[in-house]
Amino acid sequence: MIDWSQQRVLVTGGAGFLGRHVVAALERRSPADIFVPVRESYDLRERQAILNLLHDARPTLIIHLAASVGGIGANRAHPGDFFYDNLMMGAQLLHESWRGGIAKFVAIGTVCAYPKFTPIPFREEDLWNGYPEETNAPYGLAKKMLLVQSQAYRQQYGYNSIFLLPTNLYGPGDNFDPEASHVIPALIRKCLGAAERGDATIEAWGDGSPTREFLYVADAAEGIVLAAERYDESEPVNLGSGFEISIRDLLTTIARHTGFDGQIVWDTTKPNGQPRRALNTDRAAERFGFRATTGFDEGLRRTVEWYRQTQATPVSGL
So which residues are the catalytic ones? 139
Residue 250 contacts residue 183 (beta carbons within 8 Å): yes
Q: Which helix (H) or strand (E) holds 146?
A: helix 137-157
The 3-state DSSP composition of the chain as helix, strand, coil percent (nearest 5) reads 45, 15, 40
**For the chain, how many residues are written?**
318
Q: How far apart are CA 303 and CA 178, in angstroms?
A: 16
Q: How far apart are CA 123 and CA 283, in angstroms?
A: 9
CA 306 to chain centre: 19
Nearest alpha carbon to residue 91 among 52, 110, 64: 64
CA dihedral 37, 40, 46, 47 (to 10 degrees): -40
Nearest alpha carbon to residue 239 among 131, 102, 113: 113
